[in-house]
């Protein structure tokens, strides 16, 4: 290979289109005869539906149609269970999935009741006001503990205590670990994650082509293949009759992989019914109710330790808010349960959770997908343990790291991919050491902090460690083809929402095929181009699809060499591929372009040998035997204003080990963005529901996404422990940045304000200036 692109900070192929306003997003799709949808949504969290009268709306000029659940007939059905519960003994799982339009009852604010189709979105929204709805309000189920009481209202009448699921996983014997412990520390922790809030909301355009008998759907989904297959099944079509295109998608972060959203069920049905293209674009207010969120858990956790700070066992019992329905199964709480263990040896673990139905929007994974909640509990327990045992915060972590010679390391519980939670590889000590060096930990504690404190400044330091299970199966595929013009076409089934797949996948193929990265055209998320695969989630795109690209490109490379060897009548070993051409080593001037070979591989006349495949093309698949476990440490120095409780992050360091790195520029971007979302989660973003289940801050003026003023400059360091589970050695990186920021903030703010001396602990996320004021002025 002449130049190696893998590992280089290559500029992105997709940027020019995005920078010039030429990239197609769903709302950019304009089709002749299009009608525009608006949904009437419940304005209360819990109510029986007495009546819906749409006659006035239907009569409004410009309105094409109005539909309610009754109009859907046999098409009306609860959605599928996207992820079934894992095979864990004695698991309780009550499946209750969302419906396309509410029929008898509404279970959260924003649940759709009717859809209006009109000549414009403006007219469609006008007509929403014409619909008369009679609702009989019911008491809303909001608080998790209250929901479990027999006397509580029920989100689903037949689910007693609103128990969506109950799961216990154990390892070793916690009771005996506790009995033998020198110290047992127990606390209650609250961790609330928020709304992913991509700047592009969701949207769908559906077009039924009656002549071709084909449905085309443009959707902001992270899982186009799954969406196509599901739509075909629901509509009674074969998969080939449905084409789903996830074009450029303006951020996803998890909720865009949830399916089927009610709108995804309704809009294609309407397009077919009206035989006209239909567009629905979610507005920002709708996004706060109609798109899934992640939200909260309450943990009662305890840790048993030896006096030298070794973890003997952890027990955790937690409640998980799953919202009104649970189509995504148990992915979020299972991730919390598993990721709590972190990079540490925990010989005994006893973890039980109850997932609770509430009259709030549906909870599904959002960047981190429950991992944050678990990491917060463990990191806070270690901070408290360090304090009580008079150990350094970094030292207690180091003492408990899984040693580098213990991999693969089996935690003996079941992970979200249904496989045992086994870490493929890792080396945690150097990660922590590097983070401590970057933040200048020892000097800060010995010199800087005392000096600043003497000046009356409130500065503190934090250090937090985590692992992230990434790159899970089942599989992805890729098709690589050399075109007659010498460019390489590469198609894969996953969707892309800004991760740089147009470039990172091109880098992998370019290295195998000896072409420039800019000569590789990547197609993602168009089921007419590639229709196998699962989607973009769990930090798996680069790992799983990336390796499939590598496998396909390797086969194409072999085809190129075989054909070129025939062409030159030489051995394949004598050939090299570089700069888009094959040449004979040591024979200047002897070269044939890849485009010429592609033409040669598709002869118009003559005979070919039996078994010959035309073209320079291959489709290959990759499915890892298990997830690849990435790890990292974040460190931060923060200054807190003791009057206003506003923060200034003085220094932020990230050390991350995600195996081999495809593109360090893209990786840095992923980490920066993850940290920014982590900061939002830790200190600025909170979904505030009242006791009636109303979200009180459903606008970007009130739900505070961090701006350029809140997100500090970050320093990034890497260590590289390749994954043995895939040939490229990659581990996922998409979610890592967001995972440890909560405990880091809690620890550093506690330190800055010297809260332990005042018997105040920060055992909840999000924090905020208001909350810090409350916690530090009230008796604990």
Partner 1 sequence: MVTEAENIDAHDITLTVNGTPYRRQVEARTLLSDFLRHDLLLAGTHVGCEHGVCGACTVLFDGAAVRSCLMFAAQADGHAILTVEGLAGDPEHLHPLQEAMRECHGLQCGYCTPGILMTMKAFLEETAAPDEAQIREALSGNLCRCTGYQHIVEAMQLAAERLRG
Where do contacts with partner 1 occur on this chain (CB under 8 A)? 11-12, 14-16, 18-23, 25, 27-28, 30, 61-62, 119-123, 196-201, 248-251, 253, 283-284, 497-500, 665-666, 668-669, 671-677, 699-701, 705, 707-709, 711, 713-714, 737
Those residues whose C-beta lies under 8 Å from the C-beta of residue 621, and which sit 6 or more positions away, are: 475, 476, 477, 532, 548, 551
Q: Nearest distance from residue 754's CB to partner 1, in Å?
A: 29
CA 294 to chain centre: 11
Q: Nearest distance from residue 154's CB to partner 1, in Å?
A: 35
Query: What three-state secondary structure class fits 471?
Result: coil
**Which helix (H) or strand (E) covers residue 439, if one does?**
helix 428-439
Q: Nearest distance from residue 711's CB to partner 1, in Å?
A: 5
Residue with smaller CB distance to partner 1, 360 or 501: 501
CA 363 to chain centre: 13
Residue with smaller CB distance to partner 1, 552 or 671: 671
Compute φ and ψ for 83, nearest 5 degrees.
-130, 110
Residue with smaller CB distance to partner 1, 23 or 484: 23
Query: Is residue 688 a contact partner of residue 695, using CB atoms and an 8 Å limit?
Result: yes
Those residues whose C-beta lies under 8 Å from the C-beta of residue 312, and which sit 6 or more positions away, are: 177, 178, 180, 181, 304, 305, 306, 347, 348
Residue with smaller CB distance to partner 1, 25 or 407: 25
Residue with smaller CB distance to partner 1, 627 or 678: 678
Q: Nearest distance from residue 376's CB to partner 1, in Å?
A: 20
User: For residue 775, what are its two tokens?
Assistant: 């916690």
Q: 516: how many CB neighbours lie within 10 A of its CB?
A: 15
Query: What three-state secondary structure class fits 383?
Result: helix
For residues 58, 60, 63, 64, the Cα torsion angle rounded to the nearest 10 degrees is: 50
Residue with smaller CB distance to partner 1, 65 or 340: 65
Q: Nearest distance from residue 16's CB to partner 1, in Å?
A: 7
Q: Nearest distance from residue 149's CB to partner 1, in Å?
A: 38
Q: Nearest distance from residue 469's CB to partner 1, in Å?
A: 23
Q: What angle do CA 692, 698, 699 make, to 5 degrees?
A: 160
Q: Nearest distance from residue 648's CB to partner 1, in Å?
A: 12
End-to-end CA distance of the chain: 64
Nearest to 715 by CA among 631, 651, 638: 651
Query: Is residue 512 a contact partner of residue 547, using CB atoms and an 8 Å limit?
Result: no
* Per-residue DSSP letter, 14: T
Residue with smaller CB distance to partner 1, 419 or 704: 704
What is the spatial distance between Cα 382 and Cα 407, in angstroms, rounded to a whole number? Answer: 23
Compute φ and ψ for 618, nearest 5 degrees.
-155, 145
Residue with smaller CB distance to partner 1, 345 or 665: 665
Q: Nearest distance from residue 127's CB to partner 1, in Å?
A: 13
Query: What three-state secondary structure class fits 649?
Result: strand
Q: Nearest distance from residue 215's CB to partner 1, in Å?
A: 23
Nearest to 612 by CA among 621, 600, 620, 622: 600
Residue with smaller CB distance to partner 1, 354 or 496: 496
Residue with smaller CB distance to partner 1, 253 or 466: 253
Residue with smaller CB distance to partner 1, 555 or 665: 665
Q: Nearest distance from residue 115's CB to partner 1, in Å?
A: 19
Compute φ and ψ for 432, nearest 5 degrees.
-65, -45
Sign of the torsion angle spanned by Cα atoms 219, 220, 225, 226? negative
């Amino acid at each position: 290979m002449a130049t190696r692109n893998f590992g280089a900070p290559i500029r992105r192929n997709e940027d020019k289109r995005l920078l010039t306003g030429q990239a197609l997003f769903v709302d950019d799709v304009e089709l002749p005869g299009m009608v525009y949808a608006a949904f009437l949504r419940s304005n209360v969290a819990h109510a029986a539906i007495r009546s819906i009268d749409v006659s006035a709306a239907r009569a409004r000029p410009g309105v094409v149609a109005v539909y309610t659940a009754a109009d859907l007939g046999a098409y009306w059905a609860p959605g599928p269970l996207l992820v079934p519960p894992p095979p864990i003994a004695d698991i309780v799982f009550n499946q209750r999935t969302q419906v396309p339009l509410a029929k008898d009852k509404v279970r959260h604010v924003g649940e759709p009741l009717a859809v209006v189709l009109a000549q414009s979105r403006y007219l469609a929204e006008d007509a929403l006001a014409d619909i008369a709805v009679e609702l009989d309000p019911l008491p809303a189920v909001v608080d998790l503990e209250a929901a479990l009481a027999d006397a509580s209202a029920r989100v689903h009448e037949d689910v007693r205590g609103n128990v969506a699921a109950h799961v216990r996983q154990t390892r070793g014997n916690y009771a005996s670990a506790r009995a033998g412990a020198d110290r047992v520390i127990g606390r209650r922790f609250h961790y609330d994650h928020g709304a992913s809030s991509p700047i592009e909301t969701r949207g769908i355009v559906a077009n039924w082509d009656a002549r071709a008998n084909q449905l085309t759907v443009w959707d902001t989904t992270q899982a186009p293949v799954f969406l196509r297959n599901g739509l075909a099944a629901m509509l009674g079509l074969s998969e080939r009759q449905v084409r789903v295109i996830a074009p450029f998608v303006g951020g996803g972060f998890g909720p865009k992989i949830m399916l089927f959203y009610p709108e995804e069920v309704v809009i294609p049905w309407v397009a077919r019914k009206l035989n006209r293209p239909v567009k629905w674009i979610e507005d920002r207010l709708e996004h706060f109710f109609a798109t899934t969120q992640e939200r909260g858990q309450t943990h009662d956790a305890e840790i048993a330790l030896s006096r030298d700070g070794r973890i003997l066992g952890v027990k955790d019992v937690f409640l998980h808010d799953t919202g009104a329905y649970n189509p995504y199964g148990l992915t979020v709480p299972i991730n919390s349960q598993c990721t709590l263990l972190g990079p540490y040896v925990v010989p005994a673990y006893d973890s039980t959770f109850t997932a609770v139905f509430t009259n709030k929007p549906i909870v599904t994974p959002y960047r981190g997908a429950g991992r944050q909640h678990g990491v917060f509990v463990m990191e806070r327990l270690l901070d408290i343990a360090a304090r009580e045992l008079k150990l350094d915060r970094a030292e207690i972590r180091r003492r408990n790291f899984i040693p580098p010679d213990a991999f693969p390391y089996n935690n003996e519980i079941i992970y979200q991919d249904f496989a045992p939670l086994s870490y493929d590889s890792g080396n945690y000590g150097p990660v922590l050491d590097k983070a401590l060096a970057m933040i200048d930990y020892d000097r800060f504690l010995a010199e800087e902090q005392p000096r600043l404190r003497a000046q009356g400044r409130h500065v503190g330091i934090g250090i937090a460690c985590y692992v992230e299970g990434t790159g899970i199966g089942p599989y992805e595929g890729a098709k690589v083809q050399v075109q007659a013009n010498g460019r390489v076409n590469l198609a894969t089934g996953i969707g892309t929402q800004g991760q740089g797949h147009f470039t990172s996948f091109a880098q992998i193929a370019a290295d195998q095929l000896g072409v420039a990265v800019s000569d590789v055209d990547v197609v993602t998320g168009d089921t007419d181009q590639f229709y196998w695969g699962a989607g973009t989630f769990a930090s798996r795109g680069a790992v799983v699809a990336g390796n499939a690209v590598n496998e396909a490109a390797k086969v194409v490379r072999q085809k190129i060499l075989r054909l070129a060897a025939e062409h030159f009548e030489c051995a394949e070993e004598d050939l090299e591929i570089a700069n888009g051409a094959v040449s004979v080593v040591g024979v200047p001037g002897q070269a044939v372009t890849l485009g010429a070979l592609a033409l040669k591989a598709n002869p118009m006349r003559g005979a070919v040998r039996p078994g010959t495949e035309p073209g320079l093309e291959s489709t290959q698949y990759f499915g890892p035997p298990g997830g690849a476990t990435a790890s990292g440490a974040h460190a931060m120095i923060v200054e807190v204003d003791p009057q206003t409780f506003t923060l200034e992050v003085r220094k932020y360091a990230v050390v991350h080990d995600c195996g081999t790195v495809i593109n360090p520029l893209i990786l840095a971007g992923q980490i920066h963005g993850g940290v920014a979302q982590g900061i939002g989660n830790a200190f600025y973003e909170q979904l505030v529901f009242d006791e009636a289940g109303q979200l009180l801050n459903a606008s970007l003026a009130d739900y505070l996404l961090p701006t350029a003023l809140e997100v500090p400059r970050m320093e990034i360091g890497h260590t590289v422990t390749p994954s043995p589970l895939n040939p490229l050695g990659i581990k996922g990186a998409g979610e890592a940045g967001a995972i440890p920021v909560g405990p880091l903030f809690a620890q550093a703010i506690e330190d800055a304000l010297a809260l332990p001396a005042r018997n105040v602990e920060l055992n909840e996320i999000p924090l905020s200036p208001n909350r810090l004021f409350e916690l530090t002025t009230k008796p604990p």
